[in-house]
Amino acid sequence: MRTIDQTTQEILDLATKHFNVPVGTLAPDDDFFKKLGIDSLQTLELLSRIENHFNIELPDYEVQGVSDFRTLASRIQSRL
Amino acid sequence: MLDLSKYQSIGAALKDALDQFANQTCLIESDREREKERLTYRDFKNRAEPLAKMLQDANFRAADRGAIIMTNQSKWLISAYAILFCGGILVPLDYKLTPDEQWQLLAHSGARVLITEYPIWRQLAGSHGRSSATSLAHIYVTEAPASADLGGAQRWEDALSNVAPPVFGPRARKEVATIVYSSGTGGRPKGCMMTHENYLEQCVALTSLYPFAPGFRYLSILPTNHAIDFMVGFFGPFICGATVVHLRTLRPEFVREAFPKYKITYVSLVPLVLKNLQKGLQARFDALSPGKRKIFNGLVALNKALTKSQPRLGLSHLLLKQVHSGFGGELRAIIVGGAFTEPQTLQFFYDLGIPVANGYGLTEAGTAITVNDLRPFRADTVGKPLPGMEVRIVDPSPDGIGEISVRSKTVMSGYLNEPELTAETIVDGWLKTGDLGRFDPAGHLQLFGRKKNMIVTEEGKNIYPEDIEAVFESLPVKEFCVFAANYIWPQRTMVGEQLVLVIHVEPGQTVTEDLRQNISALNSRLLNYKRIHGIVLFEEDFPRTASLKIKRNILAEQLAQRDRAGAIQSL
């Protein structure tokens, strides 16, 4: 079983790869819309990648209103 | 299709449609690869009428307001019909707003009833805004877990146990059917009061160009509270007996799969999504081997030549089978709206044999004012006025460009609780759109920017500069104000719109690097699409009214005296 810190780090790694930003750019409390300059559609693409990685299903409503990696990680953690 | 001229209200038309098309498939709901539900029009009626009865038992009467905050799903439409069946006024709200914003609009609309989904209700119930919606008497929540504490709300599904029939609430054409919030949620919500006549007339006009029929399948992606999806993803298909497909998961891969799986006939998208679709297709074409690419380009060129005067769907499907099978092979058109679409994107799809029904409209005018009739397709325009629309260009400049003004039975009756704003917007029956346009010799409308103080993003979000000023409140300057740059210095373009922060510093104060950094830091608190692009320094006191409100139009006129490029300092 992963710890929340591990889950958060794995999400940051996935986002780093997905959006092709330098390693170490992203931090848990970053607002991903602002930091990455992405729109909600691009966030959905990242979520698909996260689902495949953790082998879970995350309903769209679970991520409604979530904009930082830490909160996203806690939503995922609760489904692991 | 029902003959809508015979109907007084959208509720009455929908009621007949449910009987006339009883055995047709009405709704399909899918979650990822699983199909969750498939309802006929009879099934729809059997679910909606008990809900209407539950509303009536809770004393919900004709002209009472019933709000819906839900994602796109079958229960949205079932709930909307139940409200309209009772003769109620539907208030469709955006599920993407924050809970506080939703409470603000619930309070503003005077809704007596709210129908929402459990995950949304969880957020709403925990928000402080709840106390403001004093008129709200009943809340119905769908899909709540058995053990959930509903915080005073009732379960939507409890309605299904009702067996007694509800009583239909007749309405007249000129009465209000819906209150639709056309824009943001700043200090001044703009609730467009749309009448039954607005919808009945708009539906006749739109279906004359883009018809629905039993067996047609519309994929609903734009939020149903949006005027476009309400018309082409609910009312339009229903009165023609067509099918609406909802996806509970809007991930791009599931959306892509839905096209071939359900053989989609129409879909509506915002320009941003259309552009992403274009990028994806282009990448696939670029990956073809040189030989295949040459053949493909030849087929596209041939298709383009053969469809110059009008679309020939059968022929295009045959020529470019690979592309069309990816879309299910039965796609008649992609409807695009909410914001301006670049001609190059429209042409890309048309050349592939996929017509894009682009047009121009605003909620206040009942969705669409002009639509491309595809005869011939013109990517550089937003089409011709729909039947029943009178469109004129007011005070045109020598090159024919002026403000677009509209008169039609589809124009709203006014803004809720805003008689002054209504009187400024609708003058002698003509709706002033605030957009600049010109008719070309063939009668197609071309857009040339805005004269109103707002911008529209590619995602179709309307942003009013006034609404984002609160973020800069702590700024240590004498006064400031946010404008759309194109409002001050009109540009004849619909793309690249920007916001600027106008500041007037204290006497003796200068714009230091610290101040700039302060502005940048505050700016970064805003969502990307709401951020200001630059600052403009103003050396005098802002013109103000007796109640000390900034006279924005006068300030804009004073700023307009300056050269745009010199006045805006980039951040």
Residues from chain A that touch B98, judged by Cβ atoms under 8 A, are: 65
Token digits of residue B274: 């259309």
Which pTM value belongs to this model?
0.88
Give the other-Cβ count within 10 Å of B165's Cβ.
10
Q: State the helix-helix crossing angle for A4-18 and A69-77, rounded to 10 degrees.
A: 120
CATH 2.30.38.10 residue window(s) in chain B:
386-452
CB contact under 8 A, B250 and A65: no
Q: Which CATH number is A61's domain given?
A: 1.10.1200.10
Q: Give the B-side interface with A, CB within 8 Å.
A: 32, 71, 95-96, 98, 117, 119-120, 123, 248-253, 272-273, 276, 459, 524, 527-529
CB contact under 8 A, A64 and B119: yes
Distance from CA of A38 to the nearest CA of B (A): 8
**Buried b / exposed e along A44-61 (16+ C-beta atoms within 10 A):** bbbbbebbeebeeebebb
Distance from CA of B450 to the nearest CA of A (A): 24
Nearest to B98 among A40, A61, A65 (CB): A65
Distance from CA of A62 to the nearest CA of B (A): 8
Amino acid at B344: Q
Structural fold of domain B4-29+40-204: Rossmann fold (3.40.50)
The alpha-helical segments, DSSP class H, found in chain A are 4-18, 32-36, 40-54, 69-77
Token digits of residue B474: 């702590």
Nearest to B117 among A39, A61, A62 (CB): A61
CB contact under 8 A, A39 and B248: no
Question: ipTM beyond 0.85?
Answer: no
Tens-level pLDDT at each residue, chain A (80 residues): 889 999 999 999 999 999 889 999 899 998 887 788 777 777 888 888 899 999 998 887 777 778 889 999 998 988 88
Give tens-digit pLDDT for B533-570.
999 999 999 998 877 888 888 999 999 999 999 999 98
**Buried b / exposed e along B179-208 (16+ C-beta atoms within 10 A):** bbbebbbbeebbbbbbbbbbbbbbbbbbbe
For residues A41 and B86, the model is more confident at B86
Mutate to test the interface with A, among B249, B253, B529 (most CBs of A within 10 A): B249
Q: Give the A-side interface with B, CB within 8 Å.
A: 33-34, 37-41, 44-45, 47-48, 57, 59-62, 64-65
Residue B416 has pLDDT above 90, yes or no: yes
Residue B424 has pLDDT above 50, yes or no: yes
User: Which CATH class for the B386-452 domain?
Assistant: mainly beta
Distance from CA of B349 to the nearest CA of A (A): 21
Least-confidence region, from B107-121, B247-261, B460-474? B460-474
C-alpha span between B432 and B109 (Å, rounded): 24
The number of domains in chain A is 1
**DSSP 8-state class, residue B131:** G
Distance from CA of B526 to the nearest CA of A (A): 8
CA closest to B252 among chain A residues? A45
CATH 3.40.50.980 residue window(s) in chain B:
4-29+40-204
Phi-psi label, residue B90: left if phi above 0, alpha if psi -120 to 50, beta otherwise: beta
Task: B420-429: list long-range contacts, CB under 8 Å, 24+ apart.
Answer: B421/B188, B421/B190, B425/B364
CATH 3.30.300.30 residue window(s) in chain B:
462-570
Alpha-carbon B10 to chain mean position: 19
Superfamily of domain B462-570: ANL, C-terminal domain (3.30.300.30)
